[in-house]
Structure 1
Amino acid sequence: MNVLVKSSSGITQVSADSKLLSQRKVFIEGEISSESACEFIKKILILNEEDTDKPIDVLINSPGGEINSGMAIYDVIQASKAPIRMFCIGRAYSMGAVLFSSGNHGRYMLPHSELMLHEPLLGNRVSGNSSSIQSISESLLETKRRMNQILARHTGKSEEEVEKATSYDHYYSPKESREFGLCDEIVDFNKIMEN
């Protein structure tokens, strides 16, 4: 999608993504994958290079996705010198909810958005010998422990409380998200429009 931009040299067409990036707005949308993680990281690098004081708004509408790709995004959010504000603009499920809750400079949900937490899932059918299956199981349990530690750190809940909450697909309204410590504030669209 392209938008028209007026400047001193006339009217030009730019992509909506470019226009939003110039306003320091970055999206995590759709399935989280290695490709989407790399695109996100590139944008955060550019915005940090431009200005480390001005906030970056990350707008999330994602069903989740690959844990390793999500952890790459998480590391960048935590290390960004520019403050990153998180906005849930629809749904933030699974890894999307972990990323949303990890915001250190404001975690905002629109009134009809939703979070969902659960245990890490295997992406593919499990096959192989018993040693391979045992190794996969141990790795999955370690990933679950790491995810629970991250959620505990960002929600103020104990790891035991997080483990209980993630033992099944647990859906959170904005109000429930705030009560559990996943969200700071429920806001309307105008908050996203602020610069």
Structure 2
Amino acid sequence: MPSSSNSEIPPFLDLFDSPKLMASPAQVERSVSYNEHRPRKPPPDLPSLLLHGRIVYIGMPLVPAVTELVIAELMYLQWMDPKQPIYLYINSTGTTRDDGETVGMESEGFAIYDAMMQLKNEIQTVAVGAAIGQACLLLAAGKKGRRFMMPHSKAMIQQPRVPSSGQMPASDVLIRAKEVITNRDTLVKLLAKHTGNSVEEVSKVMRRPFYMDSMKAQEFGVIDKILWRGQEQIMDDAASPEEWDRKAGIRVVEGI
């Protein structure tokens, strides 16, 4: 299990204290406590090692294969221990690429969201890189007070895009367009719920792609805290403006 001297932040990937490799699911017997599991051989891949730290990493657009893996990992971690938190790291452009081209159905993001809502575990979310579209919803859907963002990450919300219609009949294009509008309304309601903004405000900013840096995302309610290692200690050690003036020999004259 990852450990950190500060329980207010999720575990970083490089803060493992002598991690023990994890066996594949078929070789691990269920126990009351997650810590009682003992590996029998090294894991076959990196995701298995991350699972030992209860970390799920979304590092690709939300295509069906990614959705399948993420939901399976969430369900597996709940089966292992329904009381320990799950750490969801996000670096994804959602169901579109950064240039706006659609790569997956909106249902992919909603599927992961519904799985998160059904789990008994507390889910802490961390944005590393980008959380765009549906990925931004997953970031905002984490446990209130436990939604984080790296200092130079970005978040963006936008309206769902109509998939390429090709040689589709006009009536079918209209059906697809209506479905996209339905998905947009659902996305707006969910973002409003998790960010604390009104439906009207979210709908207004979503008329065009709405980019947010970490500070703007915090103001908008997508996250609760910006992660910067050592930031809190640096701020605690920093002298106040009055202290700087006193040490520099500057005197403030009243009435000027």
TM-score range, shorter chain: 0.7 to 0.9
Query: What secondary structure is seen at the aligned counterpart in 2 of 1:168?
Result: coil
Residue number in structure 1 paired with 2:113: 74
1:13–1:27 Cα change, 3 Å: closer
Between stretches 42-51 and 13-22, larger displacement belongs to 13-22
* Range with bigger deviation, 174-183 or 127-136: 127-136
* Residue 41, structure 1, aligned to residue 60, structure 2: no
In structure 2, the CA distance between the partners of 1:72 and 1:9, relative to structure 1 (3 Å rule), is: closer
What residue is the counterpart of 1:119 in the other structure?
A: 159
SS at match of 1:91: strand
Aligned residues: 187
Partner SS, residue 128 of structure 2: strand
Aligned to 1:83: 122
Question: Structure 1 residue 6: deviation in Å?
Answer: 6.0
Q: Is 2:217 aligned against 1:177?
A: yes
Q: Which has the higher contact order (CA 8 A, sep 6+)?
A: 1
Structure with the higher helix share, 1 or 2: 1
Q: Does 1:55 align with 2:82?
A: no
Higher strand share: 1
TM-score where L is the length of structure 2: 0.68
Distance of 1:52 and 1:43 partners within structure 2: 13
- Alignment RMSD (CA, Å): 2.3
The match for 2:139 is 100
TM, length-normalised to structure 1: 0.87
Unpaired runs of 5+ in structure 1?
191-195
Partner of 1:110: 150
Distance 1:144-1:104 versus aligned 2 partners, 3 A rule: same
Q: Which has the larger radius of gyration?
A: 2
**Alignment counterpart, residue 137 of structure 1, candidates 177, 187, 197:** 177
Measure how far apart 1:127 and its partner are. 4.4
State the percentage of identical aligned residues: 27
Structure 2: tracts of 5 or more residues without a match:
1-17, 22-37, 96-103, 231-256
Contact 1:28 1:60 in 2 (8 A): yes
CA offsets, 1:93-126, max 9 Å, x none?
1111111111125110010111011100123245
